[in-house]
Chain A
Amino acid sequence: MGVARRTTLGSTRTRRKNGQQTAIAYHERLEKSDLLEIYRRLWFARIFDEALYDAKKKGRLRRGNVYGSRGQEAIQVGTTYPLRPDDFVSPIHRDMPVFVFRGMTPEQVMCQIWGKANAPTRGKDSWSHMGDMSLGIVHSTSMLGSTIAVACGVLWAQRLDGRRDRVLVAYTGEGATATGPFHEGLNFAAVHKLPLIVVVENNQYAYSTPVELEVPTETVADRAKGYGIPGYCIDGNDVLEVYNTTCAALEHARAGNGPVLIECVTYRLQGHADHDETRARQYRPVEEIELWEKRDPLPRYRQYLLKTGLFSEDELPEPPPDIVERIQKAIEYAISSPDPEPHTALEDIYDESAGVSR
Chain B
Amino acid sequence: MREVTFLEAIRLAMWEEMERDPNVFIIGEDIGRMGGAFGVTTGFLERFGPDRVIDAPISETAIIAVAVGAAAAGKRGIAEMQFIDFISYGFDQVVNVAGTWLYRSGGKTPIPIVVRGPSGGYVGGSLYHSQQFEAWFFHTPGVKVVQPAFPDDAYGLMKAAIRDNNPVVFYEHKYLYRRIKGPIPDASEDYIVRLGEARIRRYGSDITVVTYGAMVHFALEAAQRLEKEGISLEVIDLRTIKPLDMETILESVRKTSKVLIVYEAPKTGGVGAEISARITEQAFEWLDAPIMRVAAKDAFVPFAEPLEKFVLPSVDDIVFAARELAAY
Contact = CB atoms under 8 A, between A and B. Distances in A.
Partners in one complex: yes
Interface of A: 119-122, 124-125, 129-133, 138-139, 141-143, 146, 149-160, 180-181, 184-185, 187-188, 191, 347-354, 356-358
Interface in B4-34: 22-23, 25
Contacts of B243: 357-358
B72 A150 contact: yes
Contact of B57 (A143, A181, A191): A191
A309 B105 CA distance: 46
Contacts of B192: 356
Pick the 5 closest A-B CB pairs, nearest first.
Answer: A153-B69, A358-B196, A149-B65, A157-B73, A357-B195
B307 to A, nearest CB: 32
Given A131-B109, A149-B62, A159-B51, A121 B104 contact: yes
Contacts of A138: 69, 72
A139 B69 contact: no
Contacts of B118: none
B255 to A, nearest CB: 21
B116 interface: no
Interface stretch (B95-103, B259-267, B298-306): B95-103
A156 B66 contact: yes
A353 B107 CA distance: 11
Interface string B49-61: 0011010110101
A356 B93 CA distance: 24
Given A157-B75, A159-B51, A181-B65, A351 B165 contact: yes
Given A146-B65, A160-B25, A348 B102 contact: yes
B219 interface: no
Nearest to A149: B65
B165 A154 contact: no
A357 B194 contact: yes
A216 to B, nearest CB: 21
Contacts of B164: 354, 356-357
Contacts, number: 170
A351 B102 contact: yes
Interface of B: 22-23, 25, 51-52, 54, 56-57, 59, 61-62, 65-75, 77, 92-93, 96-97, 100-110, 112, 141-142, 144, 160, 163-166, 192, 194-197, 240, 243, 245
A133 B66 contact: no
A349 B141 CA distance: 7
B245 A358 contact: yes
B104 A125 contact: yes
B105 A187 contact: no
Given A143-B92, A157-B74, A160-B25, A357 B61 contact: no
Given A160-B25, A181-B65, A351-B102, A141 B195 contact: no
B197 A351 contact: no
A151 B75 CA distance: 14
A149 B68 CA distance: 9
A156 B69 contact: yes
Nearest to A356: B160
B67 A153 contact: yes
Contacts of A356: 160, 163-164, 192, 194-195
Given A150-B97, A151-B69, A153-B73, A351 B62 contact: no
Contact of A188 (B62, B75, B106, B197): B62
5 contacts: A130-B104, A141-B96, A181-B61, A191-B57, A349-B141
Contacts of B77: 153
Nearest to B106: A122
Contacts of A157: 69-70, 72-75
A153 B102 contact: no
B122 to A, nearest CB: 30
A302 to B, nearest CB: 38
A150 B59 contact: no
Contact of A187 (B62, B75, B141, B196): B62
B86 to A, nearest CB: 13
B157 to A, nearest CB: 9
Contacts of B62: 149, 152, 181, 184-185, 187-188
